[in-house]
Amino acid sequence: MTDTSSRMIRVSGAALAAASLFSDREDTRLYLAGALIAPHPDGGVLVTASDGAAMIFIRDVNGYASAAWNCDLPKPLIAAARTRHFSVPPADPTVYFMGNTCHVIGFGDYGDATFVDVDEKTGTFPGLSAPDARTIHYGYAPPIDSPFPALERILRRSTDSPAATFIVNARLVARFAEAQTLLTRNITPGIHIEPGMDSEAIIVRPLTSSPAWFGLVMPMYQPRPTKGLKGLPDWMAPLITPTASTAA
């Protein structure tokens, strides 16, 4: 078993709730049952989750991770992470993993902030060793004792021209819309979809020049239609192409 005493993580509740939409809840692939939370070279953390068909990457610039950890996401933890305090402006809770413990805090009775900085000398988050007035959830959440897939292999892209058309599972794309709503509270999120080669994942990201997240969706391997008017079904042809009688 891995020594978890050094695990110290701080991450946005919204980021973790969005990542949970993509984790695999089946019992056969435990290494995909949570989210990988790892330090980012430019600061903050990168949160990654996947069920094998879709994957999301979320950058939390205010996050902290002592190392890369594959974190389990129990249902009570995610329910707490999805809550929001109706302050001005509204604030998301912050999730802390400390060893095998998870602590989700919101605003206390006196408007206490949810952000607690790490003490570099002790490697701990001061004041979070036990539940207090800010606590939304406190419980047992050990890391997953199995490595997350290597991101370098997943993210490799071809330099060839992308596929002109593609088939994608709409339910997977809908997850990204929900993730965008959780991360921005925008109830009408717009997303950009960029195809790769036939065998490559499709890139999904928000409509912004500096996105805080992006995702990958594996295309569906099904025969593409060869008839019809540029992708339209054959039965639309009479409505678009004039007949001899109407042309006269």
106 domain residue, yes or no: yes
pLDDT of residue 191: 87
Regarding whether 199 and 166 lie in a shared domain, the answer is yes
Q: What is the pLDDT of residues 111-148, one digit of tens each?
A: 556 788 888 788 788 888 888 888 999 999 999 988 88
- On whether the CB atoms of residues 70 and 142 are closer than 8 A, the answer is no
Q: Does the N-terminal peptide bond of residue 90 adopt cis geometry, omega within 30 degrees of 0?
A: no
193 domain residue, yes or no: yes
Give the DSSP letter of residue 62.
Answer: T
50 domain residue, yes or no: yes
Task: Please identify which residue in the block is written with the tokens 């990542």.
Answer: 19
Give the DSSP letter of residue 85.
Answer: B
* Domain housing 175: 157-225
Q: What is the CATH number of the domain that holds 29?
A: 3.10.150
Say what the pTM is.
0.83
Q: CB-based burial of residue 69 (10 Å sphere; 0-12 exposed, 13-18 middle, 19+ buried)?
A: buried
Number of domains in the chain: 2
Give the pLDDT mean for 28-40: 88
Separation in Å, CA 243 to CA 63, 232, 238, 239: 64, 18, 7, 9
pLDDT band per the 50, 70, 90 thresholds, residue 245: low
More confident residue, 40 or 106: 40
57 domain residue, yes or no: yes
61 domain residue, yes or no: yes
74 domain residue, yes or no: yes
